Structure 1
Amino acid sequence: MPRKKPTLQLGVYGSFDINPEKAVTSYFESKLQTDLIFKKPCWDVPREGLQHEALENERKFIELSTQQEVFQKKAAIQKKINEKKIDDMHDTQLQLRDKFIKVNDFIKECVEKTVRTETQIEKELKQQKMLNEEIKEISSDLNELLTFEEKFKGVIKELQHYENVFNEVIETSGTYESFEDLMSRSDALMLAQVEIAEREQELIKDIELIRQKILKSTFEASQKIIELNTELARIERTYNNAKAEAMKWEITLSRTKDYIADNEKETITLMDSIQHLYQLLAERNDEKVKLKKYDISGQLDYIHEEIEVLEDIIKRAHHKMAKEGMSLLGEGTNRFLNPDKETNLSN
């Protein structure tokens, strides 16, 4: 019974999804085809060797030589054709170049003309716009003037009786010669009144400014007086503090003077003692007294050096007596008995 759904497996020829029935059919067909293979006889098989290769190479060389000659002839013919084409193309290029230059110049001229025309058109449009605006303004002004004329005519009609009154005044009074004289006098009076009012306002402003300045000066003066009073109080406090400090230092100075006066005698005595000791040590060392009385520091340095020398001598004497088994006290009692020994010891 044939299968409806074939299995997925690798077929005989390496393809997929082959039915088993087809695979069997292919197998038997290939088995029958093995009997139909045609085998060539030995004499029909091409020989192998150097002669065969030489003949084959010669045949190929002849074919290639003939092909080369044909190609060379074709190349020469094609060369002439190409040279002619190149010359034609060169001429065409020159012609096209000339035409391109002419066309380019023409395009540039067209562009320049276009730019000029556009600028001219813009100028004309702007001028047209300005003229239209001026026309509108003039027409509006004209309408305003017409309306003003109508209103002015009405005003003239309303003020006609005033003109009659002015004429009567001029005729009756001998002061005014004409209507213009009357109007000029009235205008002058009105201007004088306006100037008087302006002057009055200026004077009022000046008075107000002066009043403000006086108030400001008064306020500043009061502030300055307050500051000066404050500064005076501070200075008085400083003066009192300085006075108290001066009294304190004066008392301290008087005490110091008393202390110096009390200790001056002791100081003089001490200075005399130092000088006397210095002189004794200098005479002992057979030296001249070089330092003055008030050179206390130098004298003390000299005395200190001599004391160090004496201490060194005493230490050496102790050391020597300790070696000899003697005491420095016994030696001290007998130093007047043996002055030569004392001299050697000091040396």
Structure 2
Amino acid sequence: MAVNKKDLAPLSFPKVGPEKIVREYLYSKATKSLTKKFPEWDMPRMEPSTELVAKKRELYDVEQRLVDKRREANKKRKEMNAQWRDLEDRETILRENFIKFNKFVKENQEKRERAERKLSDEKALIQKRSDDITELKKNYDHMLSIKLQMERNIKNHRMYEEYLQNVVKACSTFRTVDDILDRYETLAEARKVLAERQEEDLSALEDARNEMIRVTEEKTLHIMGLNNVMAELQSRYEAAKSKALQWELMVTKIKDTCVDKLRELYEVRRSCWNVYLQMCKRKEIVPELAQDDIENQLLFIKRTLLELKRITKISRRRATREGTRPNMRSTRTRRFF
């Protein structure tokens, strides 16, 4: 019999998030697999043998499940080991491929860098050769212009050569034109040497004059400095003399003060010794310290004064307590009545 969908009530789904529905589904699956235990009052009473059989059956079921779980675990372990070995093989292959690729990249990078360096060197060499060619062309043009200029100068000085040749023919002292030129160079060199010597002599005289002026000024300044130093030393001598008189007076005063302080110290020592003897006498003990042992005497006097201070405090406390006792008795009597 076919069901008419129009006769069915429309389906309504709750508006709940998918994560909540999945959580409820997983929770229901987990609670379904849990072992259900009924309360003791709802279970029928069983004999011990029946309970033993039930427990053995449960133990058998548990052992069977344990065996199944162990088989499943061994199977999963084998699959895991196979996957792990496969991953290790893939890792090894990947590492080798990575090393090869890295080596390939490094080699290509080195080749590229070498090619770029070689290209840059070739470009620099080409540029250098072009610059050298340009420089050589400039030098060639310059030398050519110098050659033309020299040729023009030779043409212009041709008359001098003819004049020197006529001189050689007329004068028997010179055999060739070169002798005339050598004689001229010798005379020019001698003139130059004489001029340099005269210049050196004049320079030496000027240096000597400047040195004499400098020494004179220096010695004059030195004498003036010595005069100033002498005047300063004279003033310092007068000041030191007055300071010496002042310090002599101060030393005399210090000596007088030292004599007074020594006298006071002697009096203090004698007083300490007398106080020490009086305290020993009051305490009825034999003095054991030497007369010049001032430090231990002062310590003994200090300890004695502290003892007297403690005794005074104790006596004051006792006097205060004895003075307050009658008042306390009267208050107690009043309270009692």
User: Same fold per TM (> 0.5)?
Assistant: no
Q: Which has the larger radius of gyration?
A: 1
TM-score (norm 1): 0.40
